[in-house]
Amino acid sequence: MEHTGFDNNKNPFRISLYMTLLSFFRLKSIVPLLIGLSFFYLIFYTSCANIGSPTGGPKDSIPPVVLKTIPDLRSTGFKGSDVRFTFDEYIIPDEITDKLVISPPMKKKPIIKMKGKTLIVEFSEDLRKDATYSLDFKDAVADNNEKNPIEDLRFSFSTGSVFDSLRIAGFVKKALSQEPVEKALVLLHRKHEYTAFIDSIPDYIGTTNKEGFFMIDNVARGEYRLYALTDADNSLTYNSNAELIAFADTILVPSAKYIAEVDTIVKGLDTMVVSGYTDYSPATQYLMMFEEEKFDQYLDASKRTQANKCDFYFSESLSDSFRINLLKPTTDKDWSFLEANLKRDSITVWLTDTIISNSDSLKFELKYEVLDSLNQLVIKQDTVELIYTAPKAPKQKKKKDDVPVLPTINLSNNINSSAHDLYQRIRIEAPEPLTSFDLSKISLFSVVDTVKTMIPIVVEKDTNSIRKYYIEYDWEPNSSYLFRIDSAAARNIYGHPNNKTDQKFRTQKEDYYGRIYLTISGLSGPAIVQLLANDKEERILQKIQVFGDGKIEFPYLKPEKYIIRLMMDPNKNGKWDTGFLSGNIQPERVVYYPKVIKVRSNFDIKENWEINYKPDYKKELIDEEAEKEKARKKEQAKKAGTKSGE
């Protein structure tokens, strides 16, 4: 049922006045007596009254009421250029411009005016002929005093002789996190080709609320395509890779049917009461919002935070055709060492020539592949100038016998000296790229009392980073070790050797950890099960690929809270795949285990999970520990309130 905010109740003040006058004419014979009593009342009570300030009365919690509209609600044949709403009190129009959604959409925003208690929405362009317009104010209309909003205020009228009353409603969620999307733009297109979403203004629009819910009403009969969009540029079209999108798989044909129901309460009486409801079709829509994988290459940012280091960040991974040339200052020497990250969408240029690194200003020419207007790969050239100003160092007096000190580097690692995780391998990282590293000069010892025993190890170079190395080892719990790297085992691109590393550490106790055993049933195909951190980012801690029902284990878990997510993996590629608009491919389905799991030390948690994915799935994670704490505090507050009232 459409909520309008209109109040049809009679005015109690008018009723009271009418009854008073009626009593007056009926009781005029005892008027002298009433006057005398009134005079006595005034003298007695005014003489006994205390002088004081008014209390102000109870706080106003009632939202404004619409008393009148021009035109009338659901009227037809409207020819005006504005609509007017008269309220029973003054309102605040500040948020109306931002929140008001008009469908069919308009290219220009309307002008919002106030005239006393009347809100005027003045259209900035001509209305379409034979169209039904819907104005959705959301909660933008609120009273001037206490800011009580009218929830979901909607108004509609028609410029033709027919009032369209069909609707399409549903929810928009992020496909991966399953969180509702607020303020997403939802669009209906009569054109069936997906290109209309890219280059055409929609026929109807709506927006989502905090729960991700949308309703596009006053829709005419026809066939439509349904889309959702985070409209970054307010163009009402999908034209940027920064925009998230969603779409319905099939063409939607809205309709409505009245379902009559006999009221069983009046059964047996002569008169049978018939009530009913309107059944709208299609059913509630559930749109999964995602980001398409598109190749749109450009230089996103560049910076020079060190004299010898320049960073370049790109929107996409770079191909092998990437080239960088130094334009200023010019040199014939080998001046750089290039380092790429794992995705190869950022490049670090290490300056190996000290003359160049000591220059305040550097100018580079970058060459990389982009797509042209014909979707063909071409080489683009960018010119970038980077400036670095070294911080002023404090002046130090030089002594005659000072000997120049050879610069050295420190090789960092991830060892926790007091409680190194049993599942954690050792990571060695250099501050700059290395030209040499004698891995035989890396040692690991088991330490019992004062006796050191060398352990055979294998040091592996990171395949994605030229500065990282790893040591994998099956650690004994609650045991002592010594990690050592000899001095001058490695040299960086400037020829500087490393300092010696001698680090003692102890591994974590085995009973510190807990385990989760999860038995999964109801799987319809391959899937990926992820163990996530219980935080906003939902960091991936562990993942297991499964191909059907069965039991999985997450071992060596710290005593913390965790979230579990399952992603369907029909192509068995071991990763979550996003959607593809032109191919009419939806993102792979995602569902969360309904509980936040609290892991305790030296404790095994066993859970059963029956996968029963439905389109109306709602992400609701129950934190039993948090719920118990809430209930405890509520009970304490209740007891405290009872005692204070005694």
3-class SS string, 541-570: EEEEEECCCEEEEEEEECCCEEEEEEEECC
When comparing pLDDT for 306 and 392, which is higher?
306
pLDDT value at residue 49: 36
- CA 507/CA 415 separation, integer angstroms: 10
Q: In which residue ranges of the chain is CATH 2.60.40.1220 found? A: 66-158, 299-387
Q: Tens digit of pLDDT for each residue in 368-383?
A: 999 998 889 999 999 9
Whether 606 contacts 520, CB under 8 Å: no
Q: Which of 639, 618, 616, 586 is nearest to 178 (CA)?
A: 618
CATH class given for the domain over 412-511: mainly beta
Residue 128 Cα distances to 81, 157, 201, angstroms: 11, 12, 14
Question: How high does pLDDT run on average in the chain?
Answer: 88
- Name the band, by pLDDT with cuts 50, 70 and 90, for residue 23: very low
Asked whether residue 193 carries a pLDDT value surpassing 70, the answer given is yes
Residue 425 Cα distances to 197, 472, 474, angstroms: 49, 5, 9
Indicate the burial class of 139 (C-beta count within 10 angstroms; 0-12, 13-18, 19 or more). middle
Q: Tens digit of pLDDT for each residue in 460-514?
A: 999 888 899 999 999 999 999 999 999 999 999 999 999 999 999 999 999 999 9
- CA 102/CA 560 separation, integer angstroms: 48
Q: Tens digit of pLDDT for each residue in 55-94?
A: 455 667 899 999 999 999 999 999 999 999 999 999 999 9
User: One-letter amino acid identity for 470?
Assistant: Y
Q: Which of 71-80, 103-112, 268-277, 322-331 has the lowest mean pLDDT?
A: 268-277
Whether 541 contacts 558, CB under 8 Å: no
Q: Which of 509, 510, 561 is nearest to 531 (CA)?
A: 561
Asked whether residue 169 carries a pLDDT value surpassing 90, the answer given is yes
When comparing pLDDT for 255 and 57, which is higher?
255
Asked whether residue 11 carries a pLDDT value surpassing 50, the answer given is no
- Which token pair is 139? 């909660």
Q: Which residues contact 98 (CB under 8 A, 6 or more apart)?
A: 140
Residue 28 Cα distances to 14, 21, 32, 634, angstroms: 21, 11, 9, 60
**Annotation: CATH topology of 66-158:** Immunoglobulin-like (2.60.40)
**CATH number belonging to domain 166-257+285-289:** 2.60.40.10
pLDDT value at residue 15: 32
Q: Which residues contact 563 (CB under 8 A, 6 or more apart)?
A: 531, 532, 533, 534, 538, 592, 593, 596, 597, 621
CATH class given for the domain over 299-387: mainly beta
- Which token pair is 143? 């009273």
- Which token pair is 386? 């980077």
- Which token pair is 571? 């192509």
Helix (H) or strand (E) run with residue 454 in it: strand 451-454
Q: Which of 556, 494, 498, 546 is nearest to 522 (CA)?
A: 546
- CA 216/CA 225 separation, integer angstroms: 13
First to last CA, the chain: 47
Asked whether residue 366 carries a pLDDT value surpassing 80, the answer given is yes
Task: Name the percent of the chain lying above pLDDT 90.
Answer: 77
pLDDT value at residue 546: 96
Q: In which residue ranges of the chain is CATH 2.60.40.3710 found? A: 412-511
User: One-letter amino acid identity for 636?
Assistant: Q
| pTM for the predicted model, two decimal places | 0.79
